[in-house]
Amino acid sequence: MAFAFYLYFKNKKLLIDFGFTFLLTNIIGFVFYYLYPAAPPWYKLYYGTELDLNILGSAAGLIEFDRLVSFPLFENMYTRNSNVFAAIPSLHAAYPLVLLYFGIKNRVKWMSVVFFIDIIGIWFGAVYTLHHYIIDLLLGSLCAIIAIFIYEKIFNRIGKKTFLDTYTDLIRR
């Protein structure tokens, strides 16, 4: 959100590209969630290999943070998860990769360094807290790469420019 806010004031064209690529990343991710439902590591740890479609999501390793601050932040968030079997692809891996790509396109080197460190932290945290396997992260990265490719290579060739230029003009006002 902070990067999008920054782009709103600095580069509205890149903001539009970032927003639509982010949307496309989500759409691709959601399609895969329903084509290939996959349990996260915490599910295997708590429930084994038995399929139980009635369980609530789990904060897993993030419960330690909740205990540290004496507030059920992650527990409340993850127990409301509507799809427990959405580990592949990891959008935790995809989002920061999209962010890094547009940080590099924005040509502000310090931001790109921060975004790269963010990738390492989020990926480590996703595995360490038992929310994802490494393969989930790799497939999430592929999801982001596919979204970027589709947006940059295909949408640019089918006339998105006219639509997006009009949209960019509207938000410049």
pLDDT, tens digit, for every residue of 126-157? 999 998 999 999 999 999 999 999 998 887 77
In a domain, 130, yes or no: yes
In a domain, 54, yes or no: no
For the chain, counts of helices (H) and of strands (E): 9, 0
**At residue 94, does pLDDT exceed 70?**
yes
* pLDDT bracket for residue 1 (50, 70, 90): confident
Q: Token pair for residue 138? A: 């790799």
User: Total domain count for the chain?
Assistant: 1
Residue span of the structural domain in which 9 resides: 2-38+87-172
Amino acid at 127: V
In a domain, 95, yes or no: yes
Q: Token pair for residue 103? A: 């940080």
In a domain, 20, yes or no: yes
How many angstroms separate the CA atoms of 141 and 98, rounded?
Answer: 9
**At residue 30, does pLDDT exceed 90?**
yes
Answer yes or no: pTM beyond 0.75: yes
Cα 129–40–55 angle (5° rounding)? 105
User: Is residue 127 within 8 Å of residue 138, measured between CB atoms?
Assistant: no
In a domain, 164, yes or no: yes
